[in-house]
Chains A and B, each alone.
Chain A
Amino acid sequence: MIADPKGLYQEVILDHNRKPRNYGLLEHPSHHAEGLNPLCGDHIHVSLDLAGDNVEAIAFQGESCAICKASASMMTVAVKGKSRSDAQTLIGEFVAMATGRLDPQNSLHIGRLAVFAGISELPMRVKCAILPWHTLRAAFSAVATASTEADADPMQTPLGDA
């Protein structure tokens, strides 16, 4: 049996990888963005319906590693029903945690997402965990269902301004 000293492949992550929540594409989303990590081939779509300022529905779909897929699945669960500004706060905190700049114990918002804290010790995998969150941020600022333009490319967004 493989030891997992970083605690990364915990059951909750494996479960979300096996049975991703909110998987698919919304039929007529108000916002949509595509996230691509050309280095490893991770490729996901995030679509959402904003009712006023509220994330009424959200879904994701794509081809990716377990870390990216579980991160996307847990992200949709975490932001569904939240206000746009709460979701934006969570994006910032998740990215900060994944890059080792935020101890999840000092956050009121991270909750179960703390299972991703160990990713900060694997620099080559940080981008896998972050991709869905960058894509969500791009979706918030993107025109409905338009394809992602260069300036909305989630990977072009500097990590530092998360």
Chain B
Amino acid sequence: MSAKSSTLAAPPALPGTRPEPGAMPTRAFDIERIRADFPILKLQVAGKPLVYLDNAASSQMPQAVIDRLVRYQTTEHANIHRAVHHLSETATAGYEAARGKLQRFINAREAREVIFTSGTTDGINLVMQGWGRKFIGAGDEIILTVLEHHSNIVPWQMLATEKGATIRVVPINDAGELQLDDYESLFNERTRFVGVGHISNALGSINPVKRMIAFAHARGVPVLVDGAQAAPHLAVDVQDLDCDFYAFSGHKMCGPTGIGVLYGRAALLEAMQPFKGGGDMIHTVTFEKTTYNTIPHKFEAGTPPIAAAIGLGAAVDYLSAIGMAQVAAHEHELLHHASERLRELPGVRLVGTAADKAAVLSFAVEGIHPHDVGTLLNQEGIAVRTGHHCAQPLMKRLGVAATSRASFAFYNTLAEVDALVAGIRGVQKVFG
């Protein structure tokens, strides 16, 4: 199904309830059939079935994507956009078809608005280098939020240092929700750019990006959305959001590492300066002058990760066949169940309780450091992330050095939530 809405399109199903007939897409969400698509989920870790709850860091790959990578390397590989021979044409067609799949997945107007990058970090850096260095100058202001991942902080700090610009930061409340009044009051005549995460990787807060974009646009300020945590979990529609840039990573959405997408509004991409120079991004080259290729090629210097792009195309085919609304509904059920169970546990505190939240649960276990929690859970086959989640300013704001984080994907089960809860109880027992 196509991605036409930027919000959860289906109402969340509560545990034990059945949706009304016709309320859900026709294909039933069969969790066992889905899990069978992921060979890695059959692994045992420490002699226990793997319970993989680190999906915000990286997701697992279904057999269909693995098979697509193998088929490409086995029968289709050559360099793209160059030779006239059969394999080069096959590889080029596969690569550009993947671009089209990604265009449809985020509902971009045109395929040339989809730039293949190495990942979200690469996409944000591309905007900083290509747009920021050209259009942001001394005294200008960039608005970010305290929820940002380091990858949407550090590039802008580098730019601010170089240009003499200033970074202004949108605060949160204790639940981890952005404070929109403060956001709006940060704008002034020097505001040039806004960077905001769609979903917080550390807390799961879903930010009101559509409203924030409308406010910025009313003041002529472009907005970049870091969609690394959103593209895998809800239907993203860049036209509905009306964002100027949207960056995300393939490996968090069942695709390979080393590939990501930067969506950019065509007019902005055309106005930007190239970031990397080299082959494929040029039109003509002489030692006197080089003219640049059109978008998206202007931003894809050198041989791209062709196999990874084609693999990402297969990943969005896979996700679209399930349906992002189904994905979001199932993950919401997991979130609901996990939040309730963890709230019942004495000595466990949820960190981040935004009303609008994705299936990311940061938590603290009283008296036990997250690294001890993580090591002991691993001995039960349970994979969670522990640490600062590449969001040190956010950890400082929350007054914690680190948290444990369980982050879910559509292939996780309610039984795995229960395994996590039992695991945390076990950790508490070890520590007495």
Contacts and interface: CB of A to CB of B under 8 A. Distances in A.
Given A2-B429, A41-B401, A64 B369 contact: yes
A20 B13 CA distance: 48
Interface string A1-12: 111111011000
A5 B379 CA distance: 8
Interface residues of B, number: 23
A18 B368 CA distance: 10
Given A41-B388, A41-B402, A43-B401, A4 B371 contact: no
Interface in A22-72: 39-41, 43, 63-67
Contact of B379 (A3, A18, A64, A65): A3
Contact of A2 (B368, B371, B376): B376
A2 B380 contact: yes
A66 B369 contact: yes
A14 B427 CA distance: 12
Contacts of B429: 1-2
B431 interface: yes
A84 interface: no
Given A2-B379, A6-B379, A41-B401, A14 B388 contact: no
A128 interface: yes
B430 A63 contact: no
Nearest to A39: B387
B379 A40 contact: no
Interface string A85-110: 00000000000000000000000000
A63 B370 CA distance: 12
B372 interface: yes
A122 interface: yes
Contacts of B430: 2, 4, 9, 14
Instruction: Indicate the size class of the contact surface on chain A.
Output: 20 to 34
Residue of B369, B387, B427, B429 most packed against chain A (CB within 10 A):
B369
A14 B387 contact: no
A40 B371 contact: yes
A125 interface: yes
A66 B368 contact: yes
Given A5-B379, A9-B376, A43-B401, A128 B371 contact: yes
A122 B395 CA distance: 25
A43 B379 CA distance: 25
Contacts of A14: 430-432
Interface in B383-416: 386-388, 395, 401-402
A67 B376 CA distance: 12
A65 B372 contact: yes
Among the interface residues B370, B379, B432, which one has the most CB atoms of the partner chain A within 10 A?
Answer: B379
A9 B372 CA distance: 9
Contact of B423 (A2, A18, A67): A2
Interface in B360-384: 368-372, 375-376, 379-380
A9 B368 CA distance: 12
Interface of B: 46, 368-372, 375-376, 379-380, 386-388, 395, 401-402, 423, 426-427, 429-432
Given A2-B379, A66-B369, 16 more contacts: A1-B426, A2-B429, A3-B46, A3-B380, A4-B379, A5-B379, A6-B379, A40-B386, A40-B402, A41-B402, A43-B401, A64-B369, A65-B370, A65-B371, A67-B372, A122-B375
13 contacts: A2-B379, A2-B423, A2-B426, A2-B427, A3-B46, A3-B379, A6-B379, A40-B370, A40-B387, A40-B388, A40-B401, A41-B401, A41-B402
